[in-house]
Amino acid sequence: MFTITFLDLSAGMGLCATGLLTLNILIGMVLSTAYKRSVYWKKLPPKLREISMDDLHNWTAYLALFFVCLHPLFLLLDSGNQFSFRDIFWPLQAPKQPNMVLLGTLSFYALLIVIISSQKIIKQNISFRFWKNIHLISYGTALLFLIHGLQMDPELKDRPTDYLDAEKFFSEACILIVLIASFIRYRYHLQSQNKNRK
For 36-58, the pLDDT digits (tens) are 888 889 899 999 899 999 999 99
In this predicted structure, the answer to whether residue 196 has a pLDDT above a threshold of 80 is no
For 62-116, the pLDDT digits (tens) are 999 999 999 999 988 888 888 888 998 898 888 888 999 999 999 999 999 999 9
3-state DSSP of 44-69: CCHHHHCCCHHHHHHHHHHHHHHHHH
| pLDDT band at residue 2 under the 50/70/90 scheme | low
For 112-136, the pLDDT digits (tens) are 999 999 898 998 888 988 888 888 8
Total number of domains constituting the chain: 1
1: in domain: no
pLDDT at position 30 is 92
pLDDT at position 198 is 62
For 143-183, the pLDDT digits (tens) are 889 999 999 998 888 888 898 898 899 999 999 999 999 99
- Whole-model pTM? 0.90
128: in domain: yes
Contact (Cβ atoms closer than 8 angstroms) between residue 119 and residue 175: no
In this predicted structure, the answer to whether residue 194 has a pLDDT above a threshold of 80 is no
CA distance 189 to 186: 5
Domain interval for residue 45: 6-197
